[in-house]
Amino acid sequence: MNIFARLPGSPRDRRPLGVAFPRAVSATRGIARLINSVVSNYLFRKVLKAAFTIFFVTSLTFFIIRLMPANPVDVYIQEMIAQYGMAYDEARNQAAALLAIDLSAPMYQQYFDYLGNLLHGNLGTSYRSKGTPAASIIVKFLPWTIFSVGVSLLISFTLGVVLGMLMAYWRESPLDHVLSAFASIMSSVPNYLVAMMLVVFLGVQWKLLPITAMRGSMSPGIQPGLSLHFVGDIFFHAALPIATYVLTTIGGWMLLMKSSTISTLEEDYVTVARARGLSDRRITTAYVGRNAALPLFTQLTISVGFIVGGSVLIESIFVYQGVGLLLINSINARDYPVMQGVFLVIATAVVLANLLADLLYSRLDPRIRITGGE
């Protein structure tokens, strides 16, 4: 495009713009402007960034899990020898027949094969459950994690926000001191420790809960459906994981909400709302609560992603059939496709949660809409 390269001051430069650019050029400029507006679109940029993050994490996990010591075949052979006392050669033959995987292809080729399959929505087939697509295994386990984590997040967020506001309104009262102590202790104890204590005390020592019956995500033989029986049963099985998640996350929400509420209470608009004679209820919900909870929504969506990943230990302690348990099992068996699938799900959950946080925040806070909409 030598039009742009032309030196300033040359006679043609002094032509009016409309004459200087022929029609074809202005058409390309129109398209360029269109592309430009799409590219600079807030949502578009965010989605693009999210897609790139997922791609990056997927690639990273692909190589990292292959750096783990022992491959699926080795692990299988070891298992056979340990469990059935097979000879090494016999075990290797069986492994070759059963697993039917070729790990001798160069790494980059495996990687591009994997990416190619992924683009077609194919996560590959499990090494262990022969012929079963990894996706269908994950789909079987994922709802339980979403259910238990979702319910506990909902409980812990709502309860935490309410308790946090109570603490802020009654700060320096005995209630505040008790709740603050509880919140700081609970938010600093690791969740697997709480899970183990629940098992040890409630289940084993004091025998308050039928801990063996509570294992799994539902009782055998029960028909899934919207019956009271079924719903009661899945809550019975999810009770301990949910209790663990709630206990270990609620403290954080309480403390966050408390400090956020205290600073919101100092805001002029709250004083003015009082001067305007608004009812306490209206002030607490629409003026204090809504503004104080704003920063917490970002945290909420982000923590959704992390809890899916953090469910690994909890689900194996309670033998709850969610993706966390699936991940542990597939790691132990070096079932690469399933592992990659689960990591993909976790990465996607975190990224989507962040994306959702951005979008939700701009819905909730009108001030963001302006700057973000550019």
Partner 1 sequence: MEGHKGGLRPPNQVIKGGFAPLTPRGADTTLSVQDLWVEYRTRRGTVKAVRGVSLDLCRGEALALIGESGSGKTTLGLSLIRLIPRSARIRAGRVIYRRDGQEYDVLSLGSEDLRQFRWKECAMVFQSALNALNPVLKVWDQVYDTASAHRQAYAHRTRQRALDLLRLVQLDPERVLRSYPHELSGGMRQRVLLAMSLLLDPQVLILDEPTTALDVLTQRAIIDVLRRLRKELEFSLILISHDLSLAAELADRVATMYAGAIVEIGDVYETFYRPRHPYTLGLLRAVPTVTGQMRDLASIPGCPPDLVNMPSGCKFHPRCPYADSRCQEEELELAQVGRGHAAACFHWQQVQYELEAREGA
Positions touching partner 1 (CB under 8 A) are 267-269, 271-279, 282, 286-287, 290-291, 294, 364-367, 370
* Residues in Cβ contact with 182 at an 8 Å cutoff, skipping those fewer than 6 apart: 251
Q: Please, what is the minimum distance in Å from the beta carbon of residue 374 to partner 1?
A: 15
Shortest distance, CB of residue 277 to partner 1, whole angstroms? 4
Amino acid sitting at position 265? L
Please, what is the Cα angle at 80 between 77 and 81, to 5 degrees? 85
Nearer to partner 1 among residue 79 and residue 365 (C-beta): 365
Q: Which is nearer to partner 1, 291 or 354 (CB)?
A: 291
C-alpha span between 353 and 301 (Å, rounded): 5
Which phi and psi (to 5°) does residue 90 adopt?
Answer: -60, -45
d(CA 309, CA 359) in angstroms, rounded, equals 22
Distance of CA 162 to the CA centre of its chain: 24
Task: Tell me which long-range contacts 232-235 makes (C-beta under 8 A, separation of at least 24).
Answer: 234/147
Question: Based on CB atoms, which residue is closest to partner 1, 155 or 364?
Answer: 364
Cβ-contact 214, 236 below 8 angstroms: yes
Cβ proximity to partner 1: between 127 and 287 the closer is 287
Tell me which residue of 308, 299, 315, 313 sits closest to 343, measured CA to CA: 308
Select 196 or 364, whichever has its Cβ closest to partner 1.
Answer: 364
3-state secondary structure of 133: strand
In the bound state with partner 1, the residue whose beta carbon lies nearer, of 155 and 262, is 262
| Residue 355 CB, nearest approach to partner 1 (Å) | 22
Q: How far is Cα 172 from Cα 195, in angstroms, rounded to an integer?
A: 32
Q: How far is the CB of 282 from partner 1 (least distance, A)?
A: 6
CB of 299 to partner 1, least distance (A): 18
